[in-house]
Amino acid sequence: MSWKDTRLNQVIATVISNIEVLPHVHLMWLECPSICRETLPGQFVMVRCGEETILRRPLSIHQIEGDRLAILYTVIGKGTQWLATRQPGEGVDILGPLGNGFMVDDDSRNLLLVAGGMGIAPLVFLADKAVAEGRDVTLLYGTANNDRYAVPTGIREVAATEDGSVGHQGMITELVPEYLEATDQTFTCGPLPMLQNIANMSELEERSVQVSLEMRMGCGFGVCYSCTIKTVDGLKQVCKDGPVFELNNIVWEEIRI
């Protein structure tokens, strides 16, 4: 896997299935060969969500199987409510793949993935690909309670829940230090407080950590500047220069999501 330019496609993808896998969380499979051929873990699509929402909604590419692509989304507002009512056989207008994606070094054998809540969505695709390449993957997956997404086999999963119903009781970030010794690279996605927590961990200062950011987005491909953030290398657009950044490149005090 490497950073590379991928071709942007706008397609009407056919819905294969769209089911509620957890309360208010849907898994949608779409048929869209042109996007599937080009996609890297960590990239996303912009989805047109009906006539009543002007802006497309950004959603991570969650899995790829042949010509089919999955998105895993929480139903929260107008756009995702519209998406949740799509039926098999209907078309959904999507634009992608967008963004840079995660970069896994060729010689990294042991990957540590840290997911908070819906941050699991892009990390499953990364885990699938890494396992297929013969790498060892440990996933630290934190949720509020036992409404947890069933992650693929072939990876070591370590659970944390805020209410203690599964695994460690507390925040998933509390477990990170004990898994670092055998880790070559760390990848993370989740809510902003979790990412800020990770950014403050002294144990990670000298390590390779990539973080996927979820900012509010207007266009998704570098035109509107609504997703601009401050990094140590100057202002960057999350949709075009990210959504994946090196942890230590981001000026965390200035991030507002």
The residue from 216, 223, 225, 251 that contacts ligand FAD (CB under 6 A) is 216
Q: b/e for 69-94, b at 16 or more Cβ within 10 A?
A: bbbbbbbeeebbebbbebeeeeebeb
Return d(Cα 130, Cα 126) in angstroms, integer.
6
Please report, as a single letter, which amino acid is at residue 18: N
**Measured CA angle at 145 (ends 216, 209), to 5 deg:** 50
Asked whether 40 and 101 are in contact (CB, 8 A), the reply is yes
Q: Is 60 in the site for ligand FAD (CB under 6 A)?
A: yes
Residue 225: name its binding partner from ligand FAD, ligand FES, none (Cβ under 5 to 8 Å by kind).
ligand FES
Only segment of 33-41, 110-118, 148-156, 211-219 that touches ligand FES (CB under 6 A): 211-219
Please report, as a single letter, which amino acid is at residue 84: A
Only segment of 122-130, 146-154, 214-222, 243-251 that touches ligand FES (CB under 6 A): 214-222
Asked whether 92 and 84 are in contact (CB, 8 A), the reply is no
List CB contacts of 10: < 8 A, sequence separation 6 or more.
Answer: 93, 94, 95
What residues numbered 79-138 form the site for ligand FAD, per CB under 6 A?
Answer: 79-80, 118, 121
Residue with smaller CB distance to ligand FAD, 112 or 118: 118
The residue from 227, 229, 244, 250 that contacts ligand FES (CB under 6 A) is 227
The residue from 219, 229, 244, 247 that contacts ligand FES (CB under 6 A) is 219
Asked whether 98 and 38 are in contact (CB, 8 A), the reply is no
Q: Is 217 in the site for ligand FES (CB under 6 A)?
A: yes
The residue from 76, 144, 182, 235 that contacts ligand FAD (CB under 6 A) is 76
Q: Is 41 helix (H, G, I), strand (E, B) or coil?
A: coil
Token readout for 246 is: 């090196």
Residue with smaller CB distance to ligand FAD, 167 or 220: 220
What residues numbered 156-195 form the site for ligand FES, per CB under 6 A?
Answer: none
Give contact residues for ligand FAD (rule: CB under 6 A). 44, 53, 57-60, 72-74, 76-80, 118, 121, 214-217, 243, 257
Give contact residues for ligand FES (rule: CB under 6 A). 217-220, 222-227, 237, 239
